[in-house]
Structure 1
Amino acid sequence: MQTWQRIAVCWITATAVGMAIPSRAQEVSALVEKQLPDFLTTYKSIHAAPELSHHEAQTSALLAGELRKAGYSVTERVGKYPDGSQAYGVVAILKNGAGPTLLIRTDLDALPVTEKTSLPYASSVRSKNPAGQDVGVMHACGHDVHITTIIGVARNMAALMSQWHGTLMLIGQPSEETIDGAKAMLADHLYERFGQPDLAIALHDANFAAGKVSVVSGPALASSTSIDVVMRGVGSHGAAPEAGKDPIVMASEFVVAAQTIVSRSIAPDQPAVVTVGDIHGGTKRNIIPDEVKMELTTRCYSEAVRQAIIEGVRRTAKGIAIAAGVPEDRMPLVTVLEGESTPATINDAVLAARLQKIFVEKLGVENVVERKPVMGSEDFGIFSLDHKIPAVIFWLGAYDPAKVAESERTGSVLPSPHSPFFAPLPEPTIRTGVTAMTDAAVSLLQ
């Protein structure tokens, strides 16, 4: 009897006697349901103990410990910042024969936000920010969901090794909120030490119904460019403005004029944002100061547009100073902070299509929703090495479906990420996250 005939006979016999032959989807679902109570406990413990960027000591240790227990080879403290300090990056490797290498990333850090959700596991942590100010700390962007998800995926992939082959590289990335964690890990020779992946994926929770996912092809998140603008003038008495050059007036003019950098310099079909988020100048009401400092963030999807915005900021600031008669040696200082900037996250179209197909097949077409690109920023795309490695970040619904429906009906706004009231619905969010990412990983490594 031929091999294929023996397989057919076995299949027919099994079916005839009513033997259950579970599909992979059923197997993944069973694994997730069995561990879900443990996942929820882990999630709540992480949520209650958040750590700021550059300080993820306990969070990274928790993740590393869970990945070791799951059977992975784990390395901690991967990453080096420009000042030479070591980052709290985690790299976990599971080899399973010949095949491609898949990178899956979670971020680790929390935000300087005082939580106001009143949840029983709400954070009461306080810490010092880089300026030395006492601040509340909260997982207000769902990184606790992401960490819990990757722990679940790690366990599932170890249990399903008969169904995939290749190498799984799990990354615990620090300092995503300050968009310098991915750079720090690459600066510490991530790929030279652990191998360069063939594919890279990540997820991020979002403000739509839990139980659903979304994949965007092409631009997914905008670049983020941080710019400092210092308008320099000539100080004088508030009662004698003619004796000086007022940088407060110039800064005010700049804030207004900066709004035309996009509207009159960038093509209307190119999404772009210029925001002045911080402005400081002066010490007393009757003193015209020497300078005013402004902190800007700019967002777009194109490097050409990014450079046009930077040039627009320089041109606008200088033009206002010249019009005010500022001396040449007191022209504005415009500084692009490359360490606090990150390129746009562009999802690979082919990989996005593969993930879309996987999710429709495994989760059901009704649970794969369409979403638009957003102007928020991420540094996950840096792992793609300027798109040399196909990479995709997909969205995971995290909100109570009933509240989402009520919001759509009434027009009320739900708390967004970075809000002190941000509160994902844990059970369906984590269940779907672990299931979707496991299905994706197994399918991509077959």
Structure 2
Amino acid sequence: MSIDLEALYIDLHRHPELSFQETRTAGVITRELSALGLEFVEGLGKTGVATSIVNGDGPIVWLRADMDALPVAEQTGLDYASTARGTDPAGTDVPVMHACGHDMHVTALLGALEKLLATRDAWSGTVVAVFQPAEEYGAGSQAMIADGVLDAFPRPDIVLGQHLTPLPAGTIGVRPGTQMAASDGVTVTLHGRGGHGSRPHATIDPIVMAAATVMRLQTVVSREVDPREMAVVTVGSIHAGLKNNIIPAEATLELSLRYPDEPARTDVLTRVERVIRAEAAASGAEQPPTIRVDHSLPPTINDAAATARLTAAFDRAFGDGTVIDPGMFTGSEDVSWFARAADVPLVFWFWGGLDPQQYADAVARGTVNEDIPTNHSPFFAPILHPTIERGVDALVVAAKEFLA
């Protein structure tokens, strides 16, 4: 049996599913695992799937791929572009797209399992493959852990994972230490007093309160964080009101906060909460704002020794110059919960999916930000080859490096 990885990827891309709703995706995964002759456990963390290849004595290596999509309307123009729709946690009908490459992650891990099975005489030990839901919620890994994935399978000696990114296809980006930032998702409800749009003086307008809060929050990073340090405060969503002549009673903001470590997290969260409460007080709010942390992710920290070892293995396999240090990404991940829960090293790397000439031309023009779609963009569209092959081979090289 040989998996048609291109067809598999296209199928997954056409049928994306939101976090904790990846039932079809899980079904595709279990179908392919069955065809490979592998037993599996499904329903871990609601929709997660895990399997293992036990091949004699030796180390236990966990390989992880996430599989959820995003509420984004695809605009790539591809003939296999998603037209799927889904229902978000608020009950809203939304477009759905694999705008972060998780379809490629699943494809690469299935391809890697097939290769590892075909080369069992070249390694010994145990490979555990984890297909994780709900990375975009920052909740899937902990949900799988809570459902007993660490007990259902041999506990790892190391956790490995990878992520597609807008680098030239063939390139691998990895660094020791902090690879990705810590983050918090925060929901803020500003409480005003509603009323008729013609009588604003009889109300406490939460929309004006929200506007002032959004603008003041921009000063947390620009005026209160040392310019030599990293921090991000993003207001990604504002919801208030239903009609033009009604001043609503509430406004809701959804924030994404990023930082490199716990001290910075404490500092930024404290400043953000101070601004929110102060703006509410300045607006005359009769009730203090409600501030809720929806999820909190630690920084993704690569073990230094394991990263050095893996970098050397990638160089041997793919040639010197393939591996670059991409710097610390301000994005966040929940993969490290697996390594933290098992108290073992983690190495998490990026691999490129862009046409190298397209990327080189954008660099030459100085238009990378304008011309190269990033993860979460409606235009995010990796080239199929050699992206698929490099994703598969990177996982195989990494697994074999830490197996006997």
- Shorter chain as normaliser: what TM range? over 0.9
Task: Pick one of 22, 26, 41 that aligns with 2:7.
Answer: 41
Partner of 2:375: 417
Of the candidates 18, 21, 25, which is equivalent to residue 59 of structure 1?
A: 25
Name which of 189, 192, 212 aligns with 1:233: 192
1:180, distance to aligned residue in structure 2 (A): 1.3
The residue matched to 2:324 in structure 1 has which SS? coil
Tell me what 2:259 maps to. 300
* Deviation sequence 1:130-151 (CA, Å, 0-9, x none): 3333333222211121111111
CA distance 1:115–1:442, change in 2 (3 Å): same
2:216 counterpart residue number:
257
The correspondence for 2:327, drawn from 355, 372, 377, is 372
What displacement does 1:387 show? 8.2
Report matched runs for 1:11-26 at 5 Å. Answer: none
Structure 2, gaps ≥5 residues long = none
Aligned residue runs from structure 1 range 157-172, under 5 A = 157-172=116-131
Task: Determine whether 1:394 maps to 2:320.
Answer: no
| Displacement after TM superposition at 1:112 (Å) | 2.0
Superposed counterparts of 1:5-16, under 5 Å? none
Report if aligned partners of 2:191, 2:251 keep a CA contact under 8 Å in 1.
yes
Q: Using the alignment, how far apart are the partners of 1:224 and 1:400 within structure 2?
A: 31
Matched, 1:331 2:288: yes
Distance verdict in 2 for CA 1:41–1:286, change over 3 Å: closer
The yes-or-no answer on 1:403 pairing with 2:358 is yes
Counterpart Cα distance in 2 of 1:131 and 1:326: 26
Spell out, residue by residue over 1:182-215, the C-alpha distance to the aligned partner (whole angstroms, 9 max, x if none). Answer: 1110110111221321101111111111112111
Q: 1:120-165: per-residue Cα shift (whole Å, max 9, x none)?
A: 3222323333333333322221112111111111111112222211
**Residue of 353, 359, 363 corresponding to 2:308:** 353
In the other structure, the counterpart of 1:20 is none
- C-alpha separation in 2, matches of 1:123 and 1:234: 42
Q: How many Å apart are 1:285 and its aligned residue? A: 4.3
Residue identity matched to 1:281: A
Range 129-138 or range 398-407, more displaced: 129-138
**Contact 1:104–1:171, Cα closer than 8 Å, also in 2:** yes
| AA of the residue aligned to 1:333 | T
Q: Distance in 2 between matches of 1:282 and 1:38?
A: 49
Deviation at 1:427, TM superposition (A): 1.5
* CA distance 1:442–1:409, change in 2 (3 Å): same
Matches of 1:320 and 1:423, distance apart in 2: 41
Q: In the alignment, which residue of structure 2 is the partner of 1:4?
A: none
Offset, 1:437: 1.4
Cα deviation 1:290-322 (Å, max 9, x = unaligned): 332211111112122112222222211222233
Structure-1 separation of matches of 2:171 and 2:255: 35
Name whichever of 243-252 and 61-70 sits farther off.
243-252
The verdict on how the C-alpha distance between 1:364 and 1:229 changes in structure 2, with shifts beyond 3 A counting, is same
Report the AA paired with residue 85 of structure 2: R
Question: 1:192-341 counterparts in 2 under 5 A?
Answer: 192-238=151-197, 240-327=199-286, 330-338=287-295, 341=296
User: Is residue 2:66 matched to residue 1:107?
Assistant: yes
Alpha-carbon distance in 2 for matches of 1:381, 1:59: 23
With normalisation by structure 1, the TM-score equals 0.84
AA in 2 matched with 1:425: I
Structure 2: distance between partners of 1:121 and 1:317? 44
User: How far off is 1:283 after superposition?
Assistant: 4.2
CA distance in 1, matches of 2:75, 2:241: 33
- 1:269 alignment partner AA: R
Preserved CA contact (<8 Å) 2:155 2:342: no
- Measured after TM superposition, the shift of residue 360 of structure 1 is 0.7
1:71-90 matched pairs, under 5 angstroms: 71-79=37-45, 87-90=46-49
Q: 1:115 and 1:234, CA in 2 relative to 1: closer, same or farther beyond 3 A?
A: closer
| Contact 1:71–1:94 (CA under 8 A) maintained in structure 2 | no
Which structure 1 segments of 5+ residues have no match? 1-33, 80-86
User: What are the Cα deviations for residues 344-393 of structure 1, in whole angstroms up to 9, with x where unaligned?
Assistant: 21112121111111101110012222311111121111111268211111
TM-score (norm 2): 0.93
Query: Alignment RMSD, CA only?
Result: 2.1
User: Which one has a bigger Cα radius of gyration?
Assistant: 1
- Which amino acid is 2:157 matched to? D
Q: 1:384 aligned to 332, 339, 346, which one?
A: 339
Q: Distance in 2 between matches of 1:436 and 1:383?
A: 20
Deviations 1:273-299 (A, max 9, x none): 111122223444454433322111111
CA contact (8 A) 1:72 1:93 kept: yes
Aligned residues of 1:98 and 1:165 also touching (Cα < 8 A): yes
Identity score, percent: 40
Q: Distance in 1 between matches of 2:205 and 2:221?
A: 26
Structure 1 contact 247–291 (Cα < 8 Å) conserved: yes
Q: Distance in 1 between matches of 2:118 and 2:397?
A: 13
- Higher mean displacement: 317-326 or 297-306: 317-326
Task: Report the more deviating stretch, 342-351 or 390-399.
Answer: 342-351
- Opposite residue 417 of structure 1, the aligned amino acid is N
Of stretches 262-271 and 167-176 in structure 1, the one that deviates more from structure 2 is 262-271
CA contact 2:156–2:342 (8 Å) conserved in 1? no
Answer yes or no: is 1:441 the counterpart of 2:399: yes
Which string of whole-angstrom CA distances, capped at 9 and with x for unpartnered residues, describes residues 19-46 of structure 1? xxxxxxxxxxxxxxx96x8221222222
Q: How does 1:129-168 map to 2 (within 5 A)?
A: 129-168=88-127
CA distance in 2, matches of 1:242, 1:62: 58
Is the Cα–Cα contact under 8 Å of residues 78 and 185 in structure 1 kept in the other structure? Answer: yes
Seen in structure 2, the aligned counterparts of structure 1 residues 127 and 336 have a Cα distance that, compared at 3 Å, is closer
Cα distance, 1:57–1:245 mapped onto 2, change above 3 Å: closer
State the number of aligned residues. 401
